[in-house]
Amino acid sequence: MAAGRKTIRFTLNGKPVETEIANHHNAVEVLEAFGLFGARESCAQGLCGCCTLLVDGKAVSGCLYLAAFLDGAVVTSVEHLERDGALSPVQEAFIEEGAFQCGFCTPGFVLMVEQLLDRCAAPSEDEIRHYLSGNLCRCATYPQIIQAVQRAAEKRKASAAA
Amino acid sequence: MMSFEIAEPQTLSEALALLDPEDPSVRAIAGGTALMLMMKSGVFRPTRLVSLRKLADAHTRIDARANGELAIGALTPLAALEDAPMVRSRAPVIAETLRTLSNVRVRNVATVGGHLAHADPHMDLPPVLIALRARVAVASRRGTREVAVEDLFAGYYETVLARDELISALIVPAQGERRAAYFKCTTRAADDWPALGVAVAVDGAGSAIREARIVLSAATSKPARLRAAEAILGEGTADAVLARAAEAAAEEADVMADGHGSAAYKRQLVRVYVQRALRRALGAPGVNERAQR
Ligand SMILES: Cc1cc2nc3c(=O)[nH]c(=O)nc-3n(C[C@H](O)[C@H](O)[C@H](O)COP(=O)(O)OP(=O)(O)OC[C@H]3O[C@@H](n4cnc5c(N)ncnc54)[C@H](O)[C@@H]3O)c2cc1C
Ligand code: FES
Ligand code: FES
């Protein structure tokens, strides 16, 4: 293999995959090569959360995550939240609350909110603000995002009770 | 970014063998959060990265030793440190500090060893760990040694570590009666790099202070103890004593002017924040705490 390149194998959205990467690539570039564009590199510095993906169940900034680190990992992108054509409660809540304008930041926020609600089923507004402080929305839909988190928490509670 | 090699050793000794004491373009990579930024901006152009990822299983334990010390593996992610019940009960100031250190995604990936080796003076844990008298275990092919976190930093983004040494663990001694607090002050946005950080730890019950540590970061080229101010606290914890300690701190601090504020402004911040941190540590609500509630 050419110098500075490597083959990696990992689980992508539930399926085993293999691909050749350049050693300097980051995780966003790997997802793009698989036709997944939900994670996008925006600030490129770990600050905005637009490039969020889950690696072994934990949220990371794809822009700062070396592609080689994906080898052997379980990787989930926002595209994997939908099940049999149905959106996740968090995705539905974002739509119902109108928690976006241009939508550029939305995949990152949605993945972070999934993580937050996995950790804490009914977060307070302070906990929501704190947890999402590393995600930026240039359209400033923050009030609607907070409402969407609260609505998503209720939806999850309702579906757990059902 | 240029073409480089990534080595993935399985053990600490294999990793040490892959480092090169002479070649600055060979470096360890742990979480990569700091190195990726340095590579993207071209500040660092590697020829070889020695990934420590495969060592993680053996070096992410947090153990309580019989003497009450906490031994924390160098590859422990900051998020795991933040959540560890043992850290919350034995050194709560560490968990409190981590809450506002960067964001969830960075804390999920960044490691204790990478945090300490990066030596950016704006970082939050170094002053806290100095106040708590923590030390690091350092390994190389020549053997292992321990370095007090206080002595780890040589200057701006510089440590005393040789190029072929790695931090293997962080050791936080039993805190006993020590009470500690950390404040940072950001002058633009809340999540901006701070203009200053102040960590204090006071050892002794009530107003009888056996030892105090006051450590300043961000405003200085490396975290620095403010020893004249520390000495004054031997006189007790009366308001007038705290005010004199803060005055001494502002005088002795070797602050630098930068985009976050002039030297005069930072000196004033030192005066105010040393008092706030001391009050919080001593248990009285600090001004900031009241303001935040
Ligand atoms: C968006 C963003 C915001 C941030 N905000 C904050 C903040 O608010 N407060 C704060 O304190 N910090 C902040 N940081 C800095 C962050 O704490 C560091 O990037 C992180 O701790 C570095 O850890 P790492 O494991 O990713 O290190 P790496 O990037 O992997 O390595 C950093 C350096 O340490 C060396 N190294 C790594 N492991 C070892 C080892 N075991 N022994 C010896 N050398 C080693 C590497 O060779 C490299 O020189 C922020 C970073 C980002 C990206
Ligand atoms: S693009 Fe990665 S955090 Fe902004
Ligand atoms: S909706 Fe436009 S950036 Fe958030």
B219: CATH: 3.30.390.50
Please give the number of the atom of ligand 1 that sits closest to the Cα of B126: 11
Domain boundaries, chain A: 5-79, 89-161
Could you tell me the CATH number of the domain that includes residue B29? 3.30.43
Q: Are residues B199 and B97 in the same domain?
A: no
Do B247 and B207 share a domain, yes or no?
Answer: yes
Check if B33 contacts A (Cβ < 8 Å): yes
Determine the distance separating the centroid of ligand 1 and the alpha carbon of B111, expressed in angstroms. Answer: 7
Mean pLDDT in residue range A125-134: 96
- Residues of B with Cβ-Cβ distance to A23 under 8 angstroms: 3-6, 49
- Read off the pLDDT of residues A58-74 as tens digits, 9 standing for 90 and up: 999 999 999 999 999 99
Q: How far apart are CA A19 and CA B238, in angstroms?
A: 66
- Judge if B192 and B133 occupy the same domain: no
Domain A5-79 CATH superfamily: Beta-grasp domain (3.10.20.30)
Enumerate the residues of chain A whose CB falls inside 8 A of the CB of residue B29.
66
B152: domain CATH number is 3.30.465.10
Residue B287 is assigned to a structural domain of this protein: no
Top-tier CATH class for A89-161? mainly alpha
Q: Is residue B290 part of a domain?
A: no
Of B172, B202, B218, the residue that ends a domain is B172
> Is residue B46 situated within a structural domain?
yes
In this predicted structure, what is the pLDDT of residue B187?
85
Q: Could you tell me what percentage of chain B is helix, strand and coil, using 3-state DSSP and rounding each to the nearest 5?
A: 40, 25, 35
Nearest CA in chain B to A127: B99
pLDDT at B293 > cutoff 90: no
Would you say residue B47 has pLDDT above 50? yes
Residue with the smallest CA separation from ligand 1 atom 33 is B118
Return mean pLDDT, chain B. 93
- Asked if pLDDT for residue B234 goes beyond 80, the answer is yes
User: Could you tell me if B258 and B208 lie in one domain?
Assistant: yes
Q: Are residues B41 and B23 in the same domain?
A: yes
With respect to residue B9, please indicate whether it lies within any of the assigned structural domains: yes
The single-letter code of the amino acid at B137 is A
Task: Please compute the mean of the pLDDT values over residues B117-137 and round it to a whole number.
Answer: 97
> What is the residue-averaged pLDDT of chain A?
96
Radius of gyration of chain A (CA): 16
Task: Give A3's contacts in chain B (Cβ within 8 Å).
Answer: 3, 5
pTM given for the model: 0.95
Asked whether residue A52 carries a pLDDT value surpassing 90, the answer given is yes
B249-275, pLDDT tens digit by residue?
A: 999 999 999 888 999 999 999 999 999
Beta carbons of B103 and A66 less than 8 Å apart: no
| Domain end point (choices B142, B172, B202) | B172
Q: Are residues B88 and B46 in the same domain?
A: no
- Pick left, alpha or beta for residue B131 (phi over 0 → left; psi -120 to 50 → alpha; otherwise beta): alpha
Give yes or no: residues B134 and B199 share one domain.
no
Residue B293 lies in a domain: no
Residues in contact with B222: Cβ distance below 8 Å, sequence separation at least 6, in sequence order: B119, B121, B153, B154, B155, B156, B158
- ipTM confidence score: 0.96
CA dihedral B235, B238, B241, B242 (to 10 degrees): 120
At residue B190, the pLDDT reads 73
Per-residue pLDDT tens for B69-88? 999 999 999 999 999 999 99
Residues in A touching B7 (Cβ below 8 Å): none
The domain containing residue B10 runs over which residues?
Answer: 5-51
Domain-embedded: residue B90: yes
What distance in angstroms lies between residue B106's CA and the mean position of ligand 2's atoms?
11
In a domain, B292, yes or no: no
User: What mean pLDDT comes out for the span A119-133?
Assistant: 96
Amino acid occupying residue A121: A
pLDDT in tens, A132-142: 999 999 999 99
Same domain assignment for residues B128 and B95:
yes
Confidence at residue A1, expressed as pLDDT on a 0 to 100 scale: 57
pLDDT band at B204 (very low <50, low <70, confident <90, very high): confident
pLDDT at A32: 98
Same domain for B191 and B88: no
Q: Does B95 touch chain A (CB under 8 A)?
A: no
pLDDT digit string (tens) for B161-174? 999 999 999 999 99
Same-domain pairing of B103 and B198: no
Mutate which of A40, A97, A139 for ligand 3 pocket (most atoms within 8 A of beta carbon): A139
Measured between CA atoms, how close is B99 to chain A, in angstroms? 9
* pLDDT tens column, B2-46: 689 999 999 999 999 999 999 999 999 999 999 999 999 999 999
**pLDDT for the residue numbered B1:** 52
What is the domain count for chain B? 3
Is B82 found in the same domain as B44?
no
Which residues contact residue B273 at a Cβ distance below 8 angstroms, ignoring those fewer than 6 apart?
Answer: B183, B185, B196, B198
Ligand 3 center–CA A63 separation, angstroms: 18
- Provide the pLDDT confidence category of residue B292 given band limits of 50, 70 and 90: very low
pLDDT digits (tens, 9 = 90+) for B139-148: 999 999 999 9
